Amino acid sequence: MEEIKNRRILALDYGTKTVGVAICDEMHITITPLDVIRRNKPTKLRQTLARIKELVLEYDPALIVLGFPYNYDGTEGFRCEDTLEFKSLLEQRISVPIKLYDERLTTVEAYEIMDEKGIDKLTQRELVDSYAAEVILRSFLHSIFLNKED
């Protein structure tokens, strides 16, 4: 994936009320939980999409990796449909390519990471989506560099 070489990548963990955001540096070494974008209603996406556009303008990523919520058995469920609709809305507003990536068990791993860092339980609930985005991005980068996937 030559187009991402020496460029940042943004990851999104899309949920019904939040979108977790993480970013990596240009060398793909450091991944940082960046933001949790909240909304009051699942269908109210205007401000969420505007915030993601702001982040794209600020960080200039080469790619957005969007967590895709397969069921545990690998099938696609209703949450996948919502994610595809969100992806379509996002593509109408930004020109950065968006790649779907399997997000199964990322929330569980995010809680484990925060436990290891000593983050208290109340704060964990506020940050979990951004840490899940971090897990998605780390897993994506791992697959790219170790398995030579694109």
Question: In what side-by-side order are the strands of the sheet with 63-68?
Answer: 31-38, 18-24, 9-14, 63-68, 98-102
Please tell me the predicted confidence (pLDDT) of residue 33.
Answer: 95
Residue 64, by phi and psi: left (phi above 0), alpha (psi -120 to 50) or beta?
beta
SS3 38: strand
Please tell me the predicted confidence (pLDDT) of residue 44.
Answer: 86
Its pTM stands at: 0.91
Please tell me the predicted confidence (pLDDT) of residue 118.
Answer: 95
> Could you tell me if 101 and 139 are in contact, meaning their C-beta atoms sit under 8 angstroms apart?
yes
pLDDT tens, 75-92? 888 889 999 999 999 999
In the predicted model, residues of the chain with pLDDT beneath 70 are: 1, 147-150
Please tell me the predicted confidence (pLDDT) of residue 1.
Answer: 64
In the chain the domains, ranked by start, together with CATH numbers, are: 2-145 (3.30.420.140)
Please tell me the predicted confidence (pLDDT) of residue 140.
Answer: 95
Residue 34, by phi and psi: left (phi above 0), alpha (psi -120 to 50) or beta?
alpha
